[in-house]
Chain A
């Protein structure tokens, strides 16, 4: 692996050192102002914008030769986006990779937070398609920035109110808007509601990068992250009662619904495939020992 890095002919982690330095500086600002979107000069990469280039640039700027890398897409390590990003990073850095959440020092993710609890020595990097939580109520960037500056979130609140009036509850599934540190409303990237409570008062540093939209933001450890909710309509996560993973039997993880094309049968499996596999392995071992 190490030799391959030399052969690649690129600088370590693809980006030049000046770019990495600039992106790290932006990240420091983002950490200093939790939830605030810091603009940055998004670089050209050998991956098209909108395919995880924001998260990728953060990872490239953070990664060192000693890091152990995990890349996931919707919870899975083996989906094409994750595989290609991992390949590029390995080619240009030669770092060790893993599928085990508990082993990785740096995790790049698209649309999920791994099921296993993260700790303070780990960093989770999110790929963000739309960083602006106010975009659904205000198309103008100039205006949304003004709204953030003045903490004027009434229009988003009205949107949520009307959702309740029309449908009886808030219909936003993924990308649920959250209030960070009591100041900025933030888009947590399209993670399911299931993952939103895990942003609150976490041990880990969460970094968000939007390459196409050229924004970086962050939730530092031990920061309050509250989903926007009404007193009489509290926030709730997806309901998986009476359902369990068809592979590992888990009842406390976020499940994907799989519909069989031929029979039409529905079944549920863990969205975090690495965790599902680990549980099955542990179960088997326990079975052998017994």
Chain B
């Protein structure tokens, strides 16, 4: 890709739960087979994660439970602070600053204006006591749109796109089905046309037919809006369907990266081979 700068550049991202010591990164990882440091018992959730993400691309992150894939995204979305590392985000100050070291206000700005997040559990991404429209309004109000008519038009447009019946706009998501809650969450994440959207295990916990519809929806939105996304899943089927490129994580480290097709057809790392061979 000539003279193209990455949308998101992540270098050496590390998150350690616990006191941490100088040996933490040596004592953990795929070679050690654990992410608990034998010296200080800290948990190295993810360490030294580096990657580039280009505009319009969908990056998959795959790995077993506890491999650090959610931690990675939570650090990038500022849900939890990173212990070390850098992340430069093109839409924010032209990618010249490390956004992980920004002040709380700047992080809030990036999070609300430039990013969208869809959590596995809709309870995390939605306020269940606000209406579906209110949840979308929250994002728009944070961005400074104080016009009820405009907010409602935009909310209706998004709900239409995500196939939520409009008559449910003023109902509480508490009483929605899981699949519909997830679609409202997607609508909310897209409210401000963010340059980057995170999808954390969006289809886990939904039944297969609903899964298929949500995946279809994401693919459709990606095609129509040209979204850039990071998709986290332990399900290689989801990864194959949605992503162009994939990171494979194990015990907090990236063990293999490459084009999704390549990884699925010709896995190099023993862990990836295991993953692919255990696919249903």
Binding site for B on A (CB under 8 A): 149-152, 154-155, 157-158, 161-162, 164-166, 229-233
Contact = CB atoms under 8 A, between A and B. Distances in A.
A165 B134 contact: yes
Contacts, number: 51
Contacts of A161: 133-134, 137, 141, 148, 151
Contacts of B105: 150-151
B130 A158 contact: yes
Nearest to A152: B108
B149 interface: yes
A150 B112 CA distance: 13
Interface residue SS majority, chain B: helix
Most buried by B among A149, A150, A155, A157: A157
B142 A154 contact: yes
Task: Bin the interface of chain B by size.
Answer: 20 to 34
A232 B148 contact: yes
Interface of B: 104-105, 108, 112, 127, 130-131, 133-135, 137-138, 141-142, 146-149, 151-152, 170
Contact of A154 (B131, B141, B170): B141
A232 B133 CA distance: 17
A232 B141 contact: no
Nearest to A231: B147
23 contacts: A149-B104, A150-B105, A152-B142, A155-B127, A155-B138, A157-B141, A157-B146, A158-B127, A158-B130, A158-B135, A158-B138, A158-B141, A161-B134, A161-B148, A162-B134, A165-B134, A165-B148, A165-B170, A229-B146, A230-B146, A230-B147, A231-B146, A232-B148
B159 to A, nearest CB: 14
Contacts of B152: 165
Nearest to A164: B148
Most buried by B among A158, A230, A233: A158
A137 to B, nearest CB: 9
Contacts of A155: 127, 138
A164 B216 CA distance: 35
B45 to A, nearest CB: 24
A41 to B, nearest CB: 28
Contacts of B134: 158, 161-162, 165
Given A150-B104, A230-B148, A232-B149, 4 more contacts: A157-B137, A157-B146, A158-B130, A230-B146
Contacts of A150: 104-105, 108
A161 B130 CA distance: 10
A154 B137 CA distance: 9
A231 B141 CA distance: 12
